Amino acid sequence: MKKMMKMNLTKKKKMKMKMNLKMNNLKNLIKIMKMIISHLMMGMNVMMKKKKKMKILKKKQINYQKNWARKQKKLMVLLQTVHQKTNSKALNLVKILKNFQKKGNQLMSKNLKTKNCSMKQHPHKKNQQTHLKEQTPQPPYNRKLKIRTKLVKHYFLEFLNKTVFLKLFKK
């Protein structure tokens, strides 16, 4: 009987340990999600400002990119801890997040441009760059911003759909 009691106690302890691990992992993932949402909100705010404040915008965009890079490092550290605890199940999440970050970086690295800044090449430069494709003229400023914000939302929703917490932590 005593042996049985001891066995039950150790099982309970193991179960508690597992539950604690799962809770810690969930907390870490929630932290990650919050950080990503804050990135996106910051990026959206930077992009949705009016044309008149372009100089301030460019400064903000540079600061935003620095913060994005800094927070990426934190994200990767968090992800590694999650990965170590949940082994292969978190690996999928790491891949998805890396993809998401790449897409986010691509979106944020594009310079904000007004209608005045045309993308057409100068006639004397065309001869030197024949191998490059001619760039299409850009749509009006506001429309471009709408498209970009839609893209960010789309990638974020895609990211959310792929990372289902329950699937990650169920054995």
> What tokens does 2 get?
């005593």
The owner of tokens 């709408």 is 146
Nearest one of 90, 76, 72, 73 to 26, comparing CA atoms: 90
CA atoms in the 13 A half-sphere facing the CB of 74? 15
Decide: helix, strand or coil at residue 61.
helix
DSSP string, 4-31: HHHHHHHHHHHHHHHHHHHHHHHHHHHH
- Confidence check: pLDDT of 85 > 60: no
- Confidence check: pLDDT of 64 > 60: yes
Instruction: Classify residue 168 by burial, with Cβ atoms within 10 Å: 0-12, 13-18, 19+.
Output: middle
Q: Answer yes or no: are the C-beta atoms of 116 and 4 closer than 8 Å.
A: no
Cut 0.85: pTM above it: no
Distance in angstroms (rounded) separating the CA atoms of residues 65 and 84: 29
Instruction: Give me the mean pLDDT over the 9-26 stretch.
Output: 68
H or E segment to which residue 74 belongs: helix 54-86
> Where is average pLDDT lowest: 3-7, 35-39, 48-52, 92-96?
48-52
Per-residue pLDDT band for 20 (boundaries 50, 70, 90) equals low
| Three-state secondary structure readout of 96-142 | HHHHHHHHHHHHHHCCCCCCCCCCCCCHHHHCCCCCCCCCCCCCCHH
Distance in angstroms (rounded) separating the CA atoms of residues 68 and 105: 8
- Confidence check: pLDDT of 138 > 60: no
- Confidence check: pLDDT of 108 > 60: no
- Specify the pLDDT at position 10: 72
Between 55 and 131, the higher pLDDT residue = 55
- Specify the pLDDT at position 133: 47
